Amino acid sequence: MSIMPKKPDLKINIGALKLQNPVMTASGTFGYAREFDHLVDLNRIGGIIVKGLSLMAARGNPPPRIVETACGMINAIGLENVGIEAFITEKLSFLQELVPPIIVNIYGKFEDEYTRLAARVDEVEAISAIEVNISCPNVKAGGMAFGVDPQAAFGVIKAVRAQTSKPLIVKLSPNVTDITEIATAVEEAGADCISLINTITAMAIDIDTRRPKIANIIGGLSGPAIKPVALRMVWQVARISKIPIIGIGGIMTAEDALEFLIAGASAVQVGTANFVNPHATIDIIDGIEAFLVEKGIASVKEIVGTLET
Ligand SMILES: Cc1cc2nc3c(=O)[nH]c(=O)nc-3n(C[C@H](O)[C@H](O)[C@H](O)COP(=O)(O)O)c2cc1C
C-alpha cells in the first residue's frame, strides 16, 4: 500500500505537455492572460491557452456580440485577435516568464492558413503546444465548419501535423450528430490530444424590437447551460479514444471539474466562469486538492476515467 503524502499530487502529463495541475484557461475567455494578472496568481494555473490567433489581426463581429442567457451566455465575438506576429512580438515576452505552459489556439478560414500558423508557431520555443480550433467556417466548403465533417477535420489536422512537432491539441465542435466520428478522424490524422467542447450554436431574440439580441444573429452558447452536453460528449469520446482528452464546457466549480475527470478527461479548461469569478481557476484547483485529501486519494491521475456504469 502506498503511503499517503500530505499534499496530493495534482500533476498531469498530456503527452509531452507537463502540467502542474489539470486546470487550464479556455481560449478567448482569458485574453492573453496579462489582463488577469492583477486578479489571479497566474503561476498557479495548470496551463494558459490564449485567445484564438489568426495569420492577420482580426476585428471580429460588430456589436452587440454578447448576451446573457439562462445559466450561460451567447457570444459572437468573431475571433477578434492581434494576429500571430503581434502576439509573438508583443504578448509572448510577458507570458514566457510564467510557470504554466503557454498554449496557442489557432484558427483559419482555409486549410493553408492553419498550416502557415502551425509552421510559424513551431519555430517559437516559448510556446509549449498548439490547440487547433476547427469550429471555423471552411470557405472552400461553402462555409461549413471544418469540425463538422470527418473528412475536412482529418484533412486540416493531417496538414497541420506535418508542420509541427509540438504537442497538438484538437478542439472539437459540439455542433455535430456524432462527436466520436470527428474524434476518430482527428486522432487518425495525428492529434496528440482532443479538447472538447467549443460553444453550441444558439440565438436570442428581443421581443420588443423583434431583432436578434446579437448583431450576428447566431452565436455560441457557453456556461453552465452546456455542461451536461459537454460531459456526455467527453464521456463518449473517452470511451473510443486512445489519446488524452481535455474537458471543457460550463465548468464553474471543482465539483464540475471532477465530473469531467471522472468521465475520462485528463485535464479541464475553464471559460465563461472567468467572467463571473476571475479567480475561478484557482478556486477549482484548491477544490480538487481538497476533494483528493478528503477521499484519501494520492494523485489526481487516479480519478481520471473512473466512472462506474
Ligand atoms: C467570449 C468567448 C470567446 C471565445 N473565444 C474562443 C476562441 O477564440 N477560440 C476557441 O477555440 N474557443 C473560444 N471560445 C470557446 C471557449 O474556449 C469554450 O470552449 C466554451 O466557451 C465552453 O466553455 P465554457 O462553458 O467554460 O465557457 C470562446 C468562448 C467565449 C465565451
What span, in angstroms and rounded, lies between the C-alpha atoms of 231 and 132?
20
Could you read off the pLDDT of 32-65 as tens digits, one per residue?
A: 999 999 999 999 999 999 999 999 999 999 999 9
pLDDT of 182 > 70? The answer is: yes
pLDDT band at 2 (very low <50, low <70, confident <90, very high): low
Beta strands in 153-275 (DSSP E): 168-171, 193-196, 200-202, 205-206, 211-212, 219-222, 245-248, 267-270
* 198 touches ligand 1 (CB under 6 Å): yes
Q: Ligand 1, from 24, 27, 67: best to mutate by most atoms within 8 Å of Cβ? A: 27
Q: Which of 194, 190, 252 is nearest to 227 (CA)?
A: 252
Ligand 1, atom 10, lies closest to the CA of 27
Could you read off the pLDDT of 100-144 as tens digits, one per residue?
A: 999 999 999 999 999 999 999 999 999 999 999 999 888 888 888
Average pLDDT score over residue span 253-257: 98
pLDDT of 207 > 70? The answer is: yes
Q: What predicted TM-score, i.e. pTM, was given to this entire model?
A: 0.97
CA of 106 to the centre of ligand 1 (A): 13
Query: Of 20-34, 142-156, 184-198, 246-260, which gets the smallest average pLDDT?
Result: 142-156
Q: What is the pLDDT of residue 85?
A: 98
What span, in angstroms and rounded, lies between the C-alpha atoms of 77 and 214?
10
Q: What is the pLDDT of residue 123?
A: 97
Ligand 1, atom 9, lies closest to the CA of 52
What span, in angstroms and rounded, lies between the C-alpha atoms of 295 and 303?
11
pLDDT band at 99 (very low <50, low <70, confident <90, very high): very high
Average pLDDT score over residue span 146-161: 96
Q: What is the pLDDT of residue 144?
A: 86
What span, in angstroms and rounded, lies between the C-alpha atoms of 246 and 239?
14
Q: What is the pLDDT of residue 112?
A: 95
Could you read off the pLDDT of 78-88 as tens digits, one per residue?
A: 999 999 999 99
Average pLDDT score over residue span 18-26: 98
pLDDT of 6 > 80? The answer is: no
CA of 240 to the centre of ligand 1 (A): 25
- Classify residue 264 as exposed, middle or buried by CB count within 10 Å of its CB (0-12, 13-18, 19+): buried
* 164 touches ligand 1 (CB under 6 Å): no
pLDDT of 214 > 90? The answer is: yes
pLDDT band at 1 (very low <50, low <70, confident <90, very high): low
Ligand 1, atom 15, lies closest to the CA of 198
Average pLDDT score over residue span 194-221: 97
* 227 touches ligand 1 (CB under 6 Å): no
> What b/e readout covers 132-148, taking b as 16+ CB neighbours within 10 angstroms?
bbbbbebeeeeeebbbb
- Classify residue 177 as exposed, middle or buried by CB count within 10 Å of its CB (0-12, 13-18, 19+): exposed
DSSP string, 102-160: EEEEE--SSHHHHHHHHHHHHT-TT--EEEEE--SEEGGGTTEEGGGSHHHHHHHHHHH
CA of 136 to the centre of ligand 1 (A): 12
pLDDT of 5 > 80? The answer is: no
Radius of gyration of the chain (CA): 19
Average pLDDT score over residue span 224-245: 98
* 25 touches ligand 1 (CB under 6 Å): no
* 79 touches ligand 1 (CB under 6 Å): yes
**So which residues are the catalytic ones?**
136
Q: What is the pLDDT of residue 143?
A: 84
Average pLDDT score over residue span 136-160: 91
**How far, CA to CA in Å, does 113 sit from each of 38, 155, 187, 256?**
34, 13, 21, 35
Instruction: Tell the residue number behind the cell numbers 461549413, with chain if given.
Output: 144
